[in-house]
Structure formats: structure tokens, C-alpha cells
Structure 1
């Protein structure tokens, strides 16, 4: 098997942390570098969390670049699911010993992409601040992006637990619009599918059975992460970011459809909403593929296998 080289942009974050673990552990992925952005916490915290995670899992040789400290056109509104540090529930993770590279994340991404002989994949699991700025500052490297797989958006209401606006889109909708208008091939893994990949009692039992040190860390992350979902929606934690990463490891886990996506930049109740023109009523060409179905059981089988020794 030839590993797929990727660049990973994230805002760790419990589910980002699990996605980082998967990216490092999977033989199908060659992790060329990680960039951090604000979102689940301030940039200083998400960057420190990223370094801590990579060092804990033995991936300290993966270069990390710190990125945007705020959205491109508005003040930062933090996520709430991961606690003040962005990675609550893991006090035994030691402070990071390593350092970030000297480049800003956007310039780091541009350099890495320019150095590739062939286009490569980019995975993003936070607000698109860095990717939007990359489009504006380094348009010459965009042809080197084979596909951007982004965890974000929500496209049609299937139940009361799916809101009109997903956080990554809400946090920096201007960056999202810039990226959607850029011509980059995009796959959007949104709440329509991630809310079908829930950690409930059977999944917790399996994580308990795995019993490896890494499995125990992930289990502790999930126990904290579940609290918000359980208290507010009555469901287990959704594997948002891990599913986006898993879709690069095994694209058959999700089914997608091409569609034109617009972003609501002026609304109040639906500010930041991603609007899918399923029936081509606006007459605009598709600018993304959106995930519309997922094989949840196979996703969890993949995750369990990556956590076992």
C-alpha cells in the first residue's frame, strides 16, 4: 500500500486529537505536517495541545506551524465542547517540549505544497482561517491541492439534533466562502453524517476492551467530550473530525454528491449556514462534494484497529 501524503490543519480539540492519532497510526497516511488555527480554543492553546498530542503518540518529528489567531473578518468566537484549554480531561498529558516551526502556518503550507511533485491532500478539521488566507496569499500553490477534505457544514435537517449552522462554518464564514470560490476540489464532511457516528454504550465498551495506553487516553477524551452532547442533546459524542480523516484513509466510508454550496454571511439565526442547492435552482456549477451517507460500523472498526497495539 502506498501511503497518501497529507497536510493536516486543525484546532485541537478532543475530536481533532483523535483524528491526529489516526493520521499518525494509519499506514495509509503519510503525515507531512500539521498546522493549527483558532477555534476550539485560542491559538496558543490549540497549538500547545497539538504539540502535546504528537509528542505523546511518538510523532514529535512531524513539523507543526502555528496559524491564524482570529477569523479573517470578525472577532473570534470560541467553541464550547472541549473546555477552556481545548483538551480538558487529559491532565496527565505532559506539557509540550517541542517547538513550532518559525514560519506562519499559511507560509508553511505554501512551502510544503510547492515542494510536492504531484498534488496532495489537505485535511482541515477546524475553521478555515488558514486555508482561506492561503488562497489569498499563495494562489500559485492551489493546483498542488489534490483535494481539501473539510469537516464542516450542515446541509439538510434530518432531526432536531442538527442545527442550521455548524461551528467551523460559523467561526469563519468569510474564509469558507473564499475557499469555496477558489476552485480547490473540496469534500465537505458535515453534521449530516458525523451525527450518525456516535460513541454510545457499545462503543464505550469496545474502547474499554482495547485497554492499550493509547486506547485509554482516547477513552478519557471521549468521556469528557461526551458530556456536552449528553447534557445538551441526550446523545453520545459525535466523531466529527475523525470521520473527515477516516474518509481520506478509506473514501468508501462515505457517499458524496456534488452540489453548489453558498454561505449565509448576513443572517442572524442562520448566520454562517451552509446552503446546498440540491436541485440547481441557482444555476451555479457545483463547488464541492458533500458527504450524504456514512458506514458508521466500518468507521468504528477502523478506529478500534488503529488504537490496538
Structure 2
């Protein structure tokens, strides 16, 4: 079976780093390009992190393009889970010998799509600023995107309510609204599902048992990354972004429900929330497939496989 051609738009980020690793190592994916965006850290840092990660995993042949330095209509509010650098706890990462391409990520995305022999899967794991700007600037190329599988949003049931807002959407809700109204085939993988692929003691034991250089690096990343989760929620680190990559490889790893999704851009306590109408009560056409369940065992098998290579 031919590998799936993927462009990964990200803001590394520990979990973005693992998604990049999986995209490079797993044979089911052909990683065409990486684009970076502000989010977990300012753009200069997320781009530097992407370069360092790709150098570490031996993916120096994959082009990287830096994108938007701020959200479309608001000041940048940084994420907090990954530390000030966006990838704290990784002092051993190499200084990169590779450099980003001399083109803005939005224009580079257009160039890659034009040259691709067939439509490409776009996997955004950070704020949707680059993708939203692409939709506005290059609407004639939207048919070159097979589908968008994004990490963002939250659609909790009443018995599992944690927060109405997820960071990627909160960071740039205008971009998210643009993407959701673009007409593209969109799968939204939100916090209510990614919080079910959590690294706890059994997963740490499995990673330690793999005992490859990459597995040891990832173990260090995860031990730093889980600090926020453990301190605030009493659980290990959730692998939000890697689940998106896994769902690109095997769509059956998640279950989805179709819905019309809108972004709350005015709420005091729900600003940035993804409001999903699963029952068509507002009479609006569906615009996204919203993840509702995950096969966590299948996900971790895929994750471990990437560390063995």
C-alpha cells in the first residue's frame, strides 16, 4: 500500500515533536513538508525546535518553512505546557545544520500542493493560523488537500467536563473559523479524545523496554511534559498531536460523529470553545467529523513501533 502523503503544520512542542518522529519513522507516511506556526512558543522558537527535532531523527531531507508570527486578529497568547522554549527538558538536542526554506509557510504550502501528483493530507497540530491564511490566499488550491486532520477543540459529555476551550483554537479562533467554513474535509481530534491516550507507568515501562536512543529521548520529553498534566489534573502527559498522526495513518483508530462546529469568539468563560451541533438543531450543514472515541491500545502499538525504528 502506498504511504499517505502528509504535510504537518505544527508549533513544537513535546507532543508535536513525537508526531514529527512518528511521521518520519512510520512507513505508512510520506512526510512531504513541515510548516511551523506560533503557539507553544514564538515562531522563532517553534521553527528552531522543528529544525532540531528533524536533525535528531534524521529527517534533514524534509523541507521546513516558517509561517505566521501572530494570530490573524489577536495578540499571541503562548502555551504553557512545554516551557518557555516550547521544548524544555531537551538540552541534548543538536543545533541544526539545516535551515528553513526561504519562503513563507503559507506560500510554501501552496507550492508543495501544486507540485504534488495527488491530493495531500494536511495535519495541523498547532493553532490554525497558517492554514486559515492559506484558505484566504489560495482558495483555488483547496481541492489539492485530500483532507484536514487537526488537533483542536473539545466536545465533552456532561460526565467528563473539564474545560470548554482547547489551546490551539483559543490561540487563533478566527483562523479556526476560516478553516471550518472552508468546505474542506475536516476531522477534528479534540481534548476529550486525546486525553484518553495518556502516558502512565505501564507506558513508561514499555518505552523503557524498547531501549533505543530515540525511545530514551522521548522518555525524557514525556517526563518533562507530564509536569503540567500531573500538577493540574493528576494524570500523565496526553499525546494530543501524535493521535492526529495516528488517525491519518489509520482513520479507524478513532470514531467520529458529523456535526456543524462553530467557534465561540465572544464568551467570557467559553472564549475559543468549539460548539458542535450533532443533531442539526440549527439547520446548518455539517462541516466536520468530530472524534468521539479512540482505540488507545492500537494507538500505543503504533507509537511504540515508531520508537523501535
Q: TM-score range by the shorter chain?
A: over 0.9
Match of 2:31 in 1: 31
* 2:20 corresponds to 1:20: yes
Q: Which residue of 1 aligns with 2:95?
A: 95
Give the deviation of 1:117 after TM superposition.
Answer: 3.0
1:120 aligns with 2:117: no
Q: CA deviation at 1:252?
A: 1.1
The CA deviation at 1:160 is 5.5
Corresponding residue of 1:256: 256
Residue 163 (structure 1) aligned with residue 184 (structure 2): no
Q: Deviations for 1:192-245, whole angstroms, at most 9, x for unmatched residues?
A: 110111001100111111110000000000000000000000011101000000
Compute the TM-score of the two structures, normalised by the length of structure 2: 0.98
**Residues of 1 paired with 2:127 and 2:162: CA distance?**
18
1:142–1:91: structure 2 CA closer, same or farther, 3 Å change rule?
same
Task: Provide the secondary structure at the position in 2 that maps to 1:224.
Answer: helix
Corresponding residue for residue 196 of structure 2: 196
Q: Tell me, in whole angstroms, the C-alpha distance in 1 between the residues paired with 2:215 and 2:161.
A: 28
- Measured after TM superposition, the shift of residue 24 of structure 1 is 0.0
Number of residue pairs aligned between Structure 1 and Structure 2: 309
2:153 aligns with: 153
The worse-fitting range, judged by mean Cα deviation, of 240-249 and 153-162 is: 153-162
1:134-176 deviation per Cα after TM superposition (whole angstroms, max 9, x unaligned): 0011111111111000000001245566310000000000000
Residue 110 (str. 1) matches residue 110 (str. 2) = yes
Whether contact under 8 Å (1:7, 1:34) holds in the other structure is: yes
- Tell me, in whole angstroms, the C-alpha distance in 2 between the residues paired with 1:200 and 1:91: 23
The match for 2:183 is: 183
- Structure 1 gaps, min length 5: none
Quote the residue 2:283 is aligned against.
283
C-alpha distance in structure 2 between counterparts of 1:81 and 1:239, whole Å: 12
Structure 1 residue 270 displacement after superposition: 0.3
**Partner deviation per Cα, 1:246-304 (whole Å, 9 max, x = no partner):** 00111111011111001001111100000000111110000000110000011001100
**Residue 130 of structure 2 aligns with which residue?**
130
The answer on whether the counterparts of 1:65 and 1:103 sit within 8 Å (CA) in structure 2 is yes
- 1:123 is displaced (CA, Å) by 0.4
Distance 1:92 1:161 in 2: 38
1:6 is matched with 6
Corresponding position of 2:56: 56
| 1:158–1:192 CA contact under 8 A, matched in 2 | no
The Cα shift of 1:118 comes to 2.1
- Which shows bigger deviation, 68-77 or 249-258? 249-258
Report runs of 4+ in structure 1 exceeding 4 Å deviation.
158-161
Partner of 1:226: 226
Gaps of 5+ in 2: none
Matches within 5 A, 1:136-147: 136-147=136-147
| Preserved contact between residue 257 and residue 278 of structure 2 (Cα < 8 Å) | no
Distance 2:288 2:128 in 1: 15
Q: Secondary structure at the match of 2:41?
A: coil
